[in-house]
Amino acid sequence: MLKVQPQPVLQISGKASLTGEVQISGAKNSALVIMAGALLCSQSCYLSNVPNLVDIDRLSQVLRALGVKISKKGDNLELNCQDLSQYDAPYEIVSQLRASFFIIGPLLTRLGIARIPLPGGCAIGARPVDLHVRGLKAMGAEVFIEHGIVHAQLKGNHKKLQGARIYLDYPSVGATETLMMAATLAEGETIIENAAQEPEVVDLANFCRAMGAQIKGAGTPTIAITGVERLHAVEYTIIPDRIEAGTFLVAGAITQSEISLYPVIPEHLRAVNAKLRTMGVQIIKEDTQRLRLIPGVLKPTDIETLPYPGFPTDMQAQFMALLSVTQGNSVVTETVFENRLAHVAELNRMGANIRVKGHYALISGVSQLSGAPVMATDLRASAALVLAGLAAEGTTIMQGLHHLDRGYDDLEGKLRKLGANIQRTTLETPLF
Ligand code: UD1
């Protein structure tokens, strides 16, 4: 007989109200790209406020396989890239982590060659890397894809990448970061136009600057980088995670609970806070790094995901959970990723009334969700289902925790501290 593996699940009893203050961890998307950026420097990088996540552990494994020495103590990470020698990234890990593609720029810069399997990650669309590749080619790299592996190397007798003017067809976060890193040690000036303006791009630029890189304009659509000879050792603190913070704000709103969040950078949450305010929730800036949420009667609204400073695609699923219990009709339009509405079917299992048409979701708010067995389909979908479970009548059992663990640092522990009734347990028999 086929032996069934016990399934880890989250068991959430809904309808508890939350109270107190939640501690927000360092930003996943900053920490990942900054770890890749550490490859640019042949000395030690000391990072603090690194979140405790499976994605961080996976990237650490990739970097170790390249010869990087890494030591971790709590939320501090020391990376020493002096002995960087390998340019072949291991498929088994890269295939599970899209962010491992970030190492292509620094590897090319340091070793003149990189071989990276095409990345995996969340199943939220095609997620090509053409913009990264086109930019690196403009900087003088030879790049081709063979047997699922991206091969990149310096052309001819060149010892370095060459500065270039690059216009991105779309303000891709990853492509902006890849090209910015590659340009820090290139010969001459690189201008990236139509660059992504996300706070994580700015965090990476600040990290590189702290190592001695010359970067201007990060956080605007035009970034100018003048290559320098080398970068030096650095101590750097990762910014707070605006998506984790946004997820907790929705947790407060959906459970009608007053909670506060610390530390946060309120400007990074402008689009999310504006939507919550439109929906009838009060967000109070208590001090420079602390927000307090006061719930209110929820009103429907329309949301369209956009590159920063627009509404983040990484908060779309969580807001869908909130809108599903908001009386009235709302429309959510996903414009960033083509395949990011898989959570709708699971929310409907819990009694939501959502129809999908192309990249639109039409939501008719219901007065009550009911707990059900559900399956997380990607990282942010898993957060949305937890939020729905907190608001639902009865018990929700969520499978697919590997998605949640990729990107949330102890979500259930933090929710429990606020008073939620949520436990991690194992099921002997799978629910589906
Ligand atoms: C990053 C974030 C992810 C977030 C996303 C958008 C990390 C590790 N992940 O992902 O959490 O949801 O930004 O804010 O930082 N595209 C191309 N060609 C390319 C690159 C991207 O067509 O070469 C497209 C993608 O398919 C997608 C859109 O551009 O439709 C946005 O992608 P991008 O901004 O690059 O997102 P990521 O860097 O993958």
Pair (254, 403) in one structural domain: yes
Give domain status of residue 163, yes or no. Answer: yes
**Phi/psi of residue 302, each to 5°?**
-105, 145
Pair (130, 254) in one structural domain: no
Residues contacting residue 15 through CB under 8 Å, at least 6 positions apart: 391, 392, 393
Average pLDDT score over the chain: 94
Q: Percent of the chain at pLDDT above 70? A: 96
Pair (343, 414) in one structural domain: yes
Pair (213, 161) in one structural domain: yes
From 28, 129, 172, the mutation candidate for ligand 1 (largest count of ligand atoms within 8 A of CB) is 172
Residue 98: what pLDDT?
A: 83
Nearest CA to ligand 1 atom 30: 337
| Weakest-pLDDT range from 107-111, 133-137, 146-150, 249-253 | 146-150
Strands (E), 138-246: 141-146, 149-154, 165-167, 189-193, 214-216, 222-226, 234-237
Residue 4: what pLDDT?
A: 64
Q: How far is CA 382 from the centre of its chain?
A: 13
Nearest CA to ligand 1 atom 25: 127
From 104, 170, 200, the mutation candidate for ligand 1 (largest count of ligand atoms within 8 A of CB) is 170
Q: Is the distance from CB of 225 to CB of 183 less than 8 angstroms? A: yes
How many Å lie between the centroid of ligand 1 and the Cα of residue 218? 17
Helices and strands counted in the chain (H then E): 14, 23
- SS3 helix, strand, coil % of the chain, rounded to 5? 35, 30, 40
Pair (19, 33) in one structural domain: no
How many Å lie between the centroid of ligand 1 and the Cα of residue 156? 31
Residue 3 has pLDDT above 70, yes or no: no
Residue 147: what pLDDT?
A: 87
Residue 126: what pLDDT?
A: 54
Strands (E), 280-328: 282-287, 290-294, 303-304
Separation of alpha carbons 244 and 26, rounded Å: 9
- pTM, full prediction: 0.96
Residue 123 has pLDDT above 60, yes or no: no
The CATH number given to whatever domain includes residue 411 is 3.65.10.10
pLDDT tens-digit series, residues 153-183? 998 788 899 999 999 999 999 999 999 999 9
How many Å lie between the centroid of ligand 1 and the Cα of residue 256? 33
For CA atoms 151, 155, 157, 163, the dihedral sign is negative
Residue 92 has pLDDT above 90, yes or no: no
Pair (37, 141) in one structural domain: yes
Give domain status of residue 2, yes or no. Answer: no
10 Å Cβ neighbour count for 384?
29
Q: Among 237, 265, 294, which residue terminates a domain?
A: 237
pLDDT tens-digit series, residues 194-235? 999 999 999 999 999 999 999 999 999 999 999 999 999 999
How many Å lie between the centroid of ligand 1 and the Cα of residue 98? 10
Residue 307 has pLDDT above 80, yes or no: yes
Residue 318 has pLDDT above 80, yes or no: yes
Pair (226, 260) in one structural domain: no
Pair (34, 17) in one structural domain: no
Q: Among 237, 258, 293, which residue terminates a domain?
A: 237
Pair (247, 364) in one structural domain: yes
How many Å lie between the centroid of ligand 1 and the Cα of residue 299? 31
Residue 400 has pLDDT above 60, yes or no: yes
Which atom of ligand 1 sits closest to the CA of residue 196?
34
Number of domains in the chain: 2
Pair (395, 301) in one structural domain: yes
Which positions are catalytic? Answer: 122
Residue 315 has pLDDT above 70, yes or no: yes
Q: Among 181, 216, 237, which residue terminates a domain?
A: 237
From 127, 304, 408, the mutation candidate for ligand 1 (largest count of ligand atoms within 8 A of CB) is 127
Which atom of ligand 1 sits closest to the CA of residue 307?
14
Nearest CA to ligand 1 atom 24: 127
Residue 369: what pLDDT?
A: 97
Give domain status of residue 257, yes or no. Answer: yes
Q: How far is CA 253 from the centre of its chain?
A: 22
Pocket of ligand 1, beta carbon within 6 A: 29, 32, 98-99, 125-132, 170, 172-175, 196, 200, 313-314, 336-337
Give domain status of residue 366, yes or no. Answer: yes
For residue 309, say if its preceding peptide bond is cis, omega within 30 degrees of 0. Answer: yes
Domain that holds residue 267: 7-25+240-427
How many Å lie between the centroid of ligand 1 and the Cα of residue 194? 14
Radius of gyration (C-alpha) of the chain in whole angstroms: 22
Give domain status of residue 1, yes or no. Answer: no
pLDDT tens-digit series, residues 349-359? 999 999 999 99
Q: Percent of the chain at pLDDT above 90? A: 84
